[in-house]
Each structure stands twice: as structure tokens, then as C-alpha cells.
Structure 1
């Protein structure tokens, strides 16, 4: 997740409230200004191999062209674009990481091609339109961090009518899984509440103040943290107990901010194991580099963050615990209604709601259960 300029999320045709840029920078961008965070992403071989292959296997999209790298971070995508033959690369970076990107461009002999611009893509002014926009904007479960907003803004401002986006398409997936994470989180929650109860007793005994009036609020905080927040995990494929389903498809060339402000879907997830405990749903994404209809890629490349035997990516998967879990068998299906909207408190975080109901192979249909979750 490269560091991206802020802005497009601040306003939209649907009239979303404005985002305070200073607060947003303090809460979000500062993380990406550190090399340790950039290194984490640069060590993700799946991520790196996909972008490297996308650029160099499709060099005709870059050779002699003008490229805009939105949220360049360390500058590696801009450097690759130059090495693939780009005539000019504008590398936009909101944070002080911009200076490191300039240094890397000089060290790799492409400083005459790569121009690093520190600022937000909503505010910078380029001297020309671009043929290619490249960006690594994807967050957890694709849309967390709302980074795609800035890419949309860059596209609408600077991409030529026949230009291409790297990546060009994206999909969000949902699947039924088995996991012991729910039991562990419940244990952690119980420990936290036991500790609070001891604290209440001690405060009463030693200081004569009854803190029990705050127990309900403390319980609510911990329920959200331990039981209602999605969990980052690198799942093994054998934890997926049924068929995954696409819940959102995005064409990066045409998508608008309103298209991604809310995601709603209803899917059926068939169970494929003879007997299993459906403890959670897992979400992940893939993106594709296929150019456009009028300017297709030489070779389509995919970056997939699905459960992987080799450990997957730094994005991992997001696990959404189901309470209560369900006993399922082969032939059963789980009907899931899903919604994900941006948090009112922080537009880069997501509030979600799942309604799930078990349809047994025998024809019996169980009552629907609704649970709220948070992607933070």
C-alpha cells in the first residue's frame, strides 16, 4: 500500500462531509513516511513480482510514453516505468518519502526521466496529460484506507482519453472459512473483562470509588476490539470450506468515488466439506493489469491476495467472525447479505454488516443472523 495523496475522499458528488487534511495527514500519511513501512511492502514478493511483470511484460505501454505514479512511496514503480522505456515519469508523493524517492531515482540513473513531486495529486499541476497511471493503492480488503479516491482524481485530471491504468481492474471476494480465531478472541475478551472487574473491586476497596458505572462502556469497547473488528490473517487454503464469491468488481478506468463509497452484495456460498464448523467469513481481493479495450495489454498479469500455501501477501485476508458459528455439511449453502460503508468518524475505515442464513441441503432454512463488524 504505497503512500497516496489525500483529497478525493474529502468531497464527492454525493455530498460527503469534507475531510480535514491536517488530521488526515497525522492519522494516515505519517505512517508511510518511514522506510521501515516501505520495506515491509517492498519485501512482499507476490506484490513486487506482479507489478514488475505487469510493467516489463507490457513495455509497449510504457516505451516512449508519459507515466504518472500516484503515491510513489519509495519510487520503485516510477523507476521501473523509466527502465521500461517511459519518456517521462511524474512521481507524486505526499510525504517526505519524496526525498528518498529522488535519491533512488538518482542512484538508479533515471533522475532525468523520473520527476518526483511532493504534494497531493489533487493539488499538483502537471505540464502535460499522461498515457499511463500506475499506482499501488490497494488497502486491506481492497478499499480500506480509501486510497483509490486519489487515483480516480488523478485519472480524471490527467489521463489521456486512450490512456491505461495499472492496475486496470479489481475484484473483492468473500468465502466461508473454519478458524479458531474466534475462540482465541473470546478468551482474550474474557481475560480483559476479568481484569476490569478486579480493577473495579480494588478501586472500591483502596480508594472508596465505585467504578462499576463504567463497566458497560468498557465491555462495549472490548467487544468491538476483540469480537467485532475484522482480524488480519494469512489463511491456508484448506481453511476455506466452500466456494468463494465475487462481491464487487471495479473497472479502474471508469469507476467513480460514489461507486466505491458503499459496497453492497448478496451471495450464496456453497459448502464443499463433508462436515465443518463455519466460524467466519474471509475477505480478500485481486487486481488485474490488462490495459483497456482500445489499448489491451500484451500479457495480462494478476495480483491475487487469496489464501496461499506459501504465506501470501502483506495484505493477508480479513477475517469476519460469525457469532454464533454454524455446523455445516457438503451441499449446504450460506446466504450472505453484505454491506460496507465508510466510517463517519474516519473515512479511511469501514463499517460492515453481515446477515447470514444457513440453507441445508435437505431444504431446511435457518433463521437469519445479523452481525456488525468493523474494518479498522
Structure 2
């Protein structure tokens, strides 16, 4: 079976691809990715991970307010992609949905089923265990009116759940159907932060461990950034309309210009995202900005090899590129080019970064 899938992936316009991607390598990647998927769904089947998500006040308040008291859900069929414990499905049922399909590939469906029964929605919500790409709708249901999904990952795109939402949208959403949330924007800014003290690795008890430094420099960091650390205006690097976005939208490059707003040092660039629910009566939205209330996504920080001494009014320019890792479904890869010109000095650099879901790191 693996070999048939690999051959299909290698086939290009009726011919097999060149030896750059051999059949053996394609087979290995498929097997590795399936192992990684198994680990991913096992992780998200843990109660403490689901508890972590359910205790995110900004996330849950936005979904609750966007769905409850929303006439759009009255007598509608709803698909909840990646339902977890089923809280979004419960919101939809309480808002008057006629039927809700709650789909998740992790063992949380066992709890979701019990929770649905305990709350009296067993006749409305059907819990299905499986990847949305692998399941089928009940025989008497051909389309759904609404899709709800918490697809956003760290730096918006980690874990690539957006493609699962797009799959469900293209296969099952009726013409004119609604998606919750239905917009997202990724932003970049410059921040002051901590010096990483990576020079430590050059001399550890008389030995050169700079190979560790190089690895540390290449890691994007998920951490909490405060509004007081922000040193520039923000720049929009990606905007998504979930009704029209296509697969592989997490693979892009964008030019940026960050206008400095105060004197001091810039140690890093930071990425954060906003999402919106345009089909809610109050057009609900929430942000993971350093200026917004805390969310479990925090912010994604890219530390510069050389901090920049900046003055208000100056600009940091460059190119920001992002792509899913070929080798790991957990990782995003970034290339960030920085060009800074300031009163007689010029700093240009290009750094590559890898972002891994910190929950995955903790489970490995």
C-alpha cells in the first residue's frame, strides 16, 4: 500500500519524477509522517492538553460569542473539524443547530461522546473518530451548512490543520455556507528582548560546543511577549479569506518594512495572528498580539544573530518566507532576510529558523 501511494506522489504528468526524490525516500517520508501523525493524535488525546485549550479565555470567549445567539445556526447542519472535547459542537447545538457532526482523530472522541450525552445533546451531535480526510458523512447527509474549526497553530500555520479545513470546505460545504472563523492575518514586528548569551557554547570547560549554538540560533521560540517590548509598527505579511484560500497557503514569502517607534535595541522579530468571525452578529474577532490578552498561542519569536541599535523613524526591511517542513508534520521552516540602514552603518543578514510545536517537544 505504501509503495502505491509513493508511486502516485512521484508521478508527474504521466512520468515518474527524477532521482532527486527516489521511491525509497518517498516511502520513508510517508512512513515517518504516519508515525508523526500517530504521535500527534496521541498527544491531543491527553486530557491535560485539552484542558490547556479549554482554559484559554480569549479563544473560548470568541468562539462562544460568535456561535451562541447567532441565528445562522438555527436548524442548520454543522461540521466541527478537530472537535477535541466537543465544546464548539456544544455551542452549535445550543445555538439551535439541527445536526452537528463532531470529528476528531484522537481518543478525545471517547470523552466528547460522553460529554454530549451528559449535556442532553445526544440527539443532535454525532461524534465521529477519524481524520476528516478519511470519514464520510452519514448516508442521509450530503452537505453541511456551517463548518466550525479551531485550525490555528503556533505562528498561525503550524500543524497544517488549515489543509484539513480546506478539504472539508471543498467537499461538503454548501454554496453560501459559513465558516467559523473565516479570516486570519499574520503580522510581523520588531521587539527588544533578552540577549541569548549563545557565546557560552564557544568554550565549555575548554571545549568548543559551537555546534549547539548554531542549533539554538536556528530555533524559533514560542514565548510571551509584552506590549512594552515592541519597537516598531507592525506589518501584515499574510491575509487569509477562508472561503477562497487554497491548499499550501502556508508556503509563501512576503516583503516587510517595520517602522521603528522608539530608540533602543531590537533583539528579535515577532510574529502573531488575528482571526475573525464575519458571520457573527457583532463580527467577533480576537488577536494573539503582544498588546492583546494572553492566549495559549503566545507569540513566535525569531532572535537575530546581531541585535540592532535603532532610532525612532528608521526602518527595518526584509523578506519573510515560511514553508512546512518536508521531513516533519510538526515543523515550520522560515528564512528571514534583514536589511537595516542607519546613519552610516549597514546591517544585512539572512537566517533560517525551524518552529516545532512546544507541546510536541515536551512529549518527545
1:303 to 2:257 alignment: no
Post-superposition offset of 1:316:
0.2
Q: How does 1:341-356 map to 2 (within 5 A)?
A: 341-356=323-338
Equivalent residue number for residue 212 of structure 1 = none
Distance 1:195 1:365 in 2: 36
User: CA-atom RMSD, angstroms?
Assistant: 2.4
Is the CA contact 1:12–1:258 (under 8 Å) kept in the aligned structure 2? no
Post-superposition offset of 1:264:
0.6
Distance 1:348 1:249 in 2: 22
Distance 1:118 1:56 in 2: 25
Distance 2:324 2:353 in 1: 12
Equivalent residue number for residue 223 of structure 1 = 214
Equivalent residue number for residue 207 of structure 1 = none
Return structure 1 stretches of 4+ with deviation > 6 angstroms: 10-18
Distance 1:196 1:126 in 2: 64
Kindly provide the CA deviation profile for residues 297-348 of structure 1, in whole angstroms up to 9, marking residues without a partner as x. Answer: 42211121001375x1110001100111110000100002111111121133
Post-superposition offset of 1:67:
0.3
Equivalent residue number for residue 284 of structure 1 = 272
Pick from 318, 321, 334: which aligns with 1:336? 318
Kindly provide the CA deviation profile for residues 89-140 of structure 1, in whole angstroms up to 9, marking residues without a partner as x. Answer: 0000101110100011111111110100001101111032101000001100
Equivalent residue number for residue 72 of structure 1 = 83
Kindly provide the CA deviation profile for residues 154-201 of structure 1, in whole angstroms up to 9, marking residues without a partner as x. Answer: 111110011011110111010000001xx2x335x726961693xxxx
Alpha carbons of structure 1 residues 357 and 13: separation in structure 2 relative to 1, 3 Å: farther
Equivalent residue number for residue 93 of structure 1 = 104
Distance 1:147 1:11 in 2: 20
Distance 2:118 2:11 in 1: 43
Distance 1:281 1:342 in 2: 20
Equivalent residue number for residue 43 of structure 2 = 31
Equivalent residue number for residue 374 of structure 1 = 354
Is the CA contact 2:265–2:308 (under 8 Å) kept in the aligned structure 1? yes
Q: Which stretches in structure 2 are left out of the alignment for 5+ residues?
A: 1-7, 357-364
Distance 2:173 2:266 in 1: 45
Kindly provide the CA deviation profile for residues 24-43 of structure 1, in whole angstroms up to 9, marking residues without a partner as x. Answer: 32332211001100000100
1:141 to 2:148 alignment: no
Post-superposition offset of 1:368:
2.0
Distance 1:40 1:235 in 2: 19
Pick from 314, 339, 348: which aligns with 2:296? 314
1:359 to 2:363 alignment: no
Alpha carbons of structure 1 residues 13 and 175: separation in structure 2 relative to 1, 3 Å: farther
Distance 2:44 2:255 in 1: 35
Is the CA contact 2:163–2:248 (under 8 Å) kept in the aligned structure 1? no
Distance 1:334 1:99 in 2: 50
SS for the counterpart of 2:163 is helix
Equivalent residue number for residue 260 of structure 2 = 271
Q: Which stretches in structure 1 are left out of the alignment for 5+ residues?
A: 1-9, 198-214, 292-296
Distance 2:264 2:129 in 1: 52
Distance 1:270 1:117 in 2: 49
Distance 2:77 2:36 in 1: 30
Return the TM-score normalized by structure 2.
Answer: 0.85
Kindly provide the CA deviation profile for residues 197-216 of structure 1, in whole angstroms up to 9, marking residues without a partner as x. Answer: 3xxxxxxxxxxxxxxxxx7x
Alpha carbons of structure 1 residues 240 and 13: separation in structure 2 relative to 1, 3 Å: farther
Distance 2:11 2:172 in 1: 19
Return the TM-score normalized by structure 1.
Answer: 0.83
SS for the counterpart of 2:157 is coil
Distance 2:179 2:188 in 1: 25
Alpha carbons of structure 1 residues 193 and 252: separation in structure 2 relative to 1, 3 Å: farther
Alpha carbons of structure 1 residues 341 and 103: separation in structure 2 relative to 1, 3 Å: same
Alpha carbons of structure 1 residues 365 and 19: separation in structure 2 relative to 1, 3 Å: farther
Is the CA contact 1:70–1:121 (under 8 Å) kept in the aligned structure 2? yes
Distance 1:158 1:370 in 2: 43
Post-superposition offset of 1:61:
1.5
